[in-house]
Structure 1
Amino acid sequence: MNNNIKRLTIAFVASVLLLGQTFSQGQPAQKGQNPGKAEYLTFTLSDQVTKQNVQYKNRYGITVASHLYMPKNRDASKKYPAVVIGTPYGGVKEQGAGIYAQNMAQRGFIALAIDESYNGESGGEVRHVSSPDVFVEDFSAGVDFLGTRPFIDRTKIGAIGICGSGGFALKAAQVDHRIKAVATTSMYDMSGVMRNGWKNSMTADERNKTLDQLGEQRWKDFKAGKPELTPSFPSQPVTTIPAGLDPIASEFFEYYAMKRGFHPNSIGAFTKTSSLAFMNFPLLNYIETISPRPILFIMGENAHSRYFSEDAFKQAAEPKELYIVPKARHIDLYDRVDMIPFDKLTSFFTHYLTDAKQ
């Protein structure tokens, strides 16, 4: 990869996904933050599950909108293990997180797919802020909600993070001991890549230049009275990938901007100054303290992002496992149910949430 392409990739990835982007106490959800955009899923809802739109508040008082998936044959007299599931960075619960939640519900778990604060149908102003602290809190807020449902065993709650939310799930588990097991798929360390660049290629001079530019952006936003966003995906699904995109950008465009994964609530854009928080908030600095609770890292054999999982695996303490999906790219683990290892996820959470002693 030549220097021009490398710079294009870093800028594109960092600014847009890096673009690889019950009401309180369980009452029916109110209308979301995107009026006029009818709810739809990017996948077919299974007749083996029930889906409830739920809302609850995190500790900052922001309303988190989620979809709660349950087995349709659920025994009301029993308590079930549960998992809270975060979206790929820039995604929404109607996409990959919902696919994971539905499939885990089909396998006997209660599963909660969340919209991160400031995004999707969740609350929070200014819209499209990306906050590592708040996104991490959203996982713990999901545990708050799940652990107060009468049909859930609060000693058996795990977390799944897809892409960028893999880092948020791990960060939450570092301090939230109620999360008994964590799995990540196609993980991105958003704080690491924003501070250090793609594969840690950012120099100190480049970082300082970026910080200078972001400081200027804060003044610009303040004078304008509103924050400027990074580039967004098209407002309607397109049929072709623009010429000239590098392979990483093309892959994200394939998912988010085309029919495969397009959703109107998933615009791919965040406030430009959001990256300041990530550059100052390391996500994996205490990953070893999750032990003795287990971590499962799942990555595609051909994923451009695999170094994130490999590095995090090295940092983590036992028990831990690195699982490689043959031939899978990064985005294939968002939605390819023929490639996502749900049997592996099921056996992992069954062992550590259901079979193992607490």
Structure 2
Amino acid sequence: MSQKVNFKNSNNADITMSAILFLPEGFDESQKYPAVVVTHPGGGVKEQTASTYAAKIAEGGIIAVAYDASYQGESTGEPRQLENPYIRVEDISAVVDYLSSLPYVDAEKIGAVGICAGAGYTANAAINDHRIKAVAGISTVNIGAMYRNGWDGSVKDADALPLLMMGADARAKEAQGNDGGKLPFAPETRESAPSPEMEEAWEYYRTPRAMCATSPGYLPSRSLTQLVTYNAYNFAEAFLVQPLQIIVGSESGSRWMSEDLYQRAASTDKNLHIVNGANHMQLYDIPQYVEETASVVVPFFQKNL
């Protein structure tokens, strides 16, 4: 059972968040339930892989909420499609605020899971906000590291300086009332994909496989001034102490970012599950890989919430 909900963002009263609340079978509003915040990838929206996993979590007897980030999807805010990682992290705490206000949610049993960049944001939120009692990441991406070091981690930090300059130039243009430009989150054509894995990103976001009208798949170039220097795992060695479950495909080019979080997290209860044969995108929606991922994630939250 699911229902659309809207609520004011507690970090910015000018923004209304749009979300889908997934309720367990036999839901009784007079009871108290654990709950999980599900955060979508960069460029994604709540109706895509976030809802796929939210539904699985609800089947496990836990309330789950998939939501659109501020400035994105059906949530409000200008400029549209802004990808400010600090706001994305605060959005997760705002959803925790919302869940804590619901009479049928046990505020002491709230967890969080994210997919791709949403998983990196989830880790960052858990570092900051210890109302989050358990953390899971699916195909985890530290989006700052991705922009600095590339999809496979082969680029040196300093070589990302042109991206910072691009972001600054975009902001300068916008300050003068001009268009600062935009960048695609996923390749816009199959031919422009630099690798088979990125070709699958094109397919997921740009074809009927998962394309969604509220997910145009770009970010304003101005976002680069926050993204390039951002570190989703900042202070993980000290403060990411909650139980942690990471799931990543064995063939994922982004696997190194999942392993980095696993190694750095201070948690004494952490696990890295490798889905053999799967790449990054296949954990989003390919049934056999979703089932395997859910078979790890759902019991993890059942145990730790």
Distance 1:180 1:204 in 2: 33
1:310 match? 259
Higher mean C-alpha displacement, 226-235 vs 215-224? 226-235
Partner of 1:108, secondary structure, is: coil
**TM-score by structure 1 length?**
0.79
Counting strand residues as a fraction of each chain, which structure ranks higher?
Answer: 2
Note if 1:54 corresponds to 2:3. no
CA separation in 2, counterparts of 1:167 and 1:291? Answer: 12
> Residue in 2 aligned with 1:216?
169
State the shift of 1:243 in Å: 6.7
Structure 2 residue ranges without an equivalent (≥5):
none
Residue type of the alignment partner of 1:348: F
How far 1:204 moved relative to its partner?
5.7
Superposed CA offset, 1:197-236 (max 9, x none): 344433465333333333333222323444322147799x
Q: Distance in 1 between matches of 2:238 and 2:92?
A: 18
SS in 2 for 1:344: helix
Asked if 1:193 is matched to 2:146, the reply is yes
The Cα of 1:273 is off from its aligned counterpart by 1.6
Q: CA RMSD in A?
A: 2.1
For the Cα contact (< 8 Å) 1:221–1:228, is it kept in 2?
no
Which residue in the other structure is 2:275 paired with? 325
Aligned pairs for 1:144-293 within 5 A: 144-203=97-156, 206-231=159-184, 241-242=190-191, 245-293=194-242
Which deviates more from structure 2 when the two are superposed, residues 65-74 or residues 207-216? 207-216
2:52 paired with 1:102? no
Determine the structure 2 residue equivalent to 1:69: 22
CA 1:147 to 1:254, structure 2 compared with 1: closer, same or farther past 3 Å?
A: same
CA contact (8 A) 1:118 1:124 kept: yes
Alignment size in residue pairs? 301
- State which structure, 1 or 2, has the greater radius of gyration over its C-alpha atoms: 1
- Give the partner amino acid of 1:326: N
Identity of aligned residues (%): 37
State yes or no: 1:81 paired with 2:31: no
1:284-316 deviation digits (Å, cap 9, x = unpaired): 011133443111010012112111101111111
Deviation of 1:264 (Å) = 1.1
Structure 1 residues 183-192 or 74-83, which shifts more? 74-83
Does the CA contact (< 8 Å) of 1:195 and 1:279 recur in 2? yes
Partner residue in 2 for 1:343: 295
Structure 1, unpaired ranges of 5+ = 1-48, 354-358
Map 1:113-132 to 2 at 5 A.
113-132=66-85
Deviations 1:74-109 (A, max 9, x none): 123310110000001110001111111111111111
Q: Deviations over 1:168-210 (max 9, x none)?
A: 0010101101000000000111011223334443346533333
Secondary structure of the 1:130 match is coil
SS at match of 2:300: helix
